[in-house]
Amino acid sequence: MKKILSVFILGFLFIPVLPQKFENLALTPPMGWNSWNKYQCNVSEALIMQMADAMVNSGMKDAGYQYIVIDDCWQVSRDENGEIVPDKGRFPHGMKYLADYVHSKGLKFGIYSSAGKVTCQERPGGLGHEYQDARTYARYGVDYLKYDWCGSSTQDGKSSYSNMRDALYAAGRPIVFSICEWGTSKPWEWAGTVGNLWRTTGDISDSWNSMIDIFGKQRDLAKYAGPGKWNDPDMLEVGNGGMTTEEYRTHFSLWCMLASPLIAGNDLANMTSEIQSILMNKEMIAIDQDSLGRQASCFRDNGEYQIWVKSLSGNEKAVCLLNKSDEKKSVLVDFALLAKIRSFGFRYEIPEPAQEGPGMPGMGPKPFGDKLLTLENYRIRDLWEHKDLVVKESSAYIDIPPHGVKIYRFIKK
Ligand code: GLA
C-alpha cells in the first residue's frame, strides 16, 4: 500500500507543467494606441497621460480603443540587481504611477521591450531577465507587452518568445503578448500558442506604398488568425500626414478586413474630423471586431482591382472592392453573385448549382446554408456612406476612387 502511495505521489510530482499563454485574452483583435509611429523616442509621462485623456475625450474609448502602449525608450539601464530602470527625467513618477493613471481612465496599459540584448533604440533588452522583467511588469500593472526582436543575434524565435510567454504566465498577471519579430521565422506557424498577435512584416511607414505592400503580404495568412491569435500587419498610420484622406480610409478598411489589431499611432489630442470619422467608424470597427475572428481572403485578383471577402458571424459577410490604381475605376458589380459567395475553409467561392435530376439521387440538396445566400435575404450596407444600397438591378456600376475602397456588409434581413 505504501509503495502504491509513493508511486502515486511521485507520479503526481512529475506531472509536467504544460507551457501556456493566458486564456481568454484578445478574443477580438486588440485596439489601442502606441507611441512609436508618431513620437518615436520622444515619450514621456506627460505625453502618455495626455493620450490617455484624449482617448477618452475624443470618443476613441467609446469606439472600442483600450490599450495605451509606450513603445521604445522608456527605459535607460539596469540597476545592480538587474532591475530595469525607467528614464527618470521622462517618467518622474515611475511606471506604476502611469499605469494607475491609465487604469483610472478605464483603459489598459502597455509597455515595450525586446527579446534580445538590446531594444531597437539600444536600450536594455529582456534577454536573460525574462522572469525578472515579467514580475516587474506585473508589479507595474502592465496589461500588454510588445516584445521586439532587436539585439537577438543567433537566438531562435520560437524558443525566445516561448520563454517570455512562460515568464509572463509565471508572474501571474494576464498580459496580452504582442510578438514583434517582423515575420522573420514565420511566426504565424508557431506563435498561436505563444502570443496573442505577431508582426508579419518589417515596419510600416506613413506612405501608400508601404501600407499597400504590407497589405499584400497578408494574403496567405488568413488561416492562422482567430480569437486570441492575430496576424499583425503593424500599427496604423492614420492621421500622421503622409497619406491622403482617401488612402487612410483604405488603410483602415483593409486592416479591419484583415481582423488586424487596430493600434492607432497618431496624435489623439489633435485629430481632424476626417481622421476621427475614419478611426471611429463604428461600422468598420464592427467588421474588425466580429466575434468569428476571420481574416479576409482575396476572392478575385484583377491586378489593380481586387475583391476581398471576410466571413462574419450570423452568416453575414463583408466585401471589399479595392482600387489600387492611380485612376478612378468604374466597375460593374454583380451583387447577386457577391451574395452567393461562401467560404470553403479559408477560401471564398461561388457554390456550384445543385445537380438534381432524374437518375441522380443524392446529388441535391445544396450544401448547408446556400439557399440563404441570395440577394433577397440581405440588405447591403455601404460602410463609408453609412447607408443601405438601393439595388434596383442585381448588378450596378460602382465608382471607386484611386487608391480607394468600397466596403459592403451583407446584413441578414
Ligand atoms: C522596431 C519595431 C517598431 C518599433 C521600433 C522601436 O523597429 O518593429 O515597431 O517598436 O522597433 O525601436
CA distance 249 to 82: 45
If pLDDT is split at 50, 70 and 90, which confidence band does 16 have?
Answer: low
CA distance 140 to 85: 12
State what percent of residues in the chain have pLDDT above 90: 88
Q: State yes or no: is 326 an active-site residue.
A: no
Here the cell at position 200 is: 508579419
Low-confidence winner among 85-99, 159-173, 345-359 (lowest mean pLDDT): 345-359
How far is the centre of ligand 1, averaged over its atoms, from the C-alpha of 120 (Å)?
Answer: 6
Q: Is it the case that residue 368 has pLDDT exceeding 50?
A: no
* pLDDT score at 351: 85
For the residues of 42-87, what is the DSSP string, one character each?
A: ---HHHHHHHHHHHHHTSHHHHT--EEE--TTSEEEE-TT--EEE-
Candidate of 33, 34, 35, 36 to mutate for ligand 1, largest count of ligand atoms within 8 Å of Cβ: 36
Here the cell at position 66 is: 483600450
If pLDDT is split at 50, 70 and 90, which confidence band does 17 have?
Answer: low
Q: Is it the case that residue 369 has pLDDT exceeding 80?
A: no
In tens, the pLDDT along 336-358 reads: 999 999 999 999 999 876 554 45
In tens, the pLDDT along 216-235 reads: 999 999 999 999 999 999 99
In a 3-state reduction of DSSP, which class is residue 360?
A: coil
In tens, the pLDDT along 236-295 reads: 999 999 999 999 999 999 999 999 999 999 999 999 999 999 999 999 999 999 999 999
* pLDDT score at 387: 97
* pLDDT score at 364: 45
Q: State yes or no: is 290 an active-site residue.
A: no
User: Ligand 1 pocket, 205 CB below 6 A?
Assistant: no
Q: Is it the case that residue 15 has pLDDT exceeding 80?
A: no
User: Cβ neighbours of residue 19 under 8 Å, at least 6 residues apart?
Assistant: 162, 165, 166, 169
Q: List Cα–Cα distances, 160 to 18, 116, 148, in angstroms.
A: 17, 9, 11
* pLDDT score at 101: 99
- Please name which of 277, 322, 279, 315 lies closest in space to residue 297, comparing C-alpha atoms: 322
User: Ligand 1 pocket, 232 CB below 6 A?
Assistant: no
User: Ligand 1 pocket, 148 CB below 6 A?
Assistant: yes
Q: List Cα–Cα distances, 361 to 82, 311, 356, 364, in angstroms.
A: 74, 31, 7, 7
* pLDDT score at 19: 73
User: Ligand 1 pocket, 247 CB below 6 A?
Assistant: no
Q: Average pLDDT in the 117-133 region?
A: 98
> Which residue's alpha carbon is at the smallest distance from atom 5 of ligand 1?
120
Strands 262-264 and 31-34, bridge-based pairing: parallel
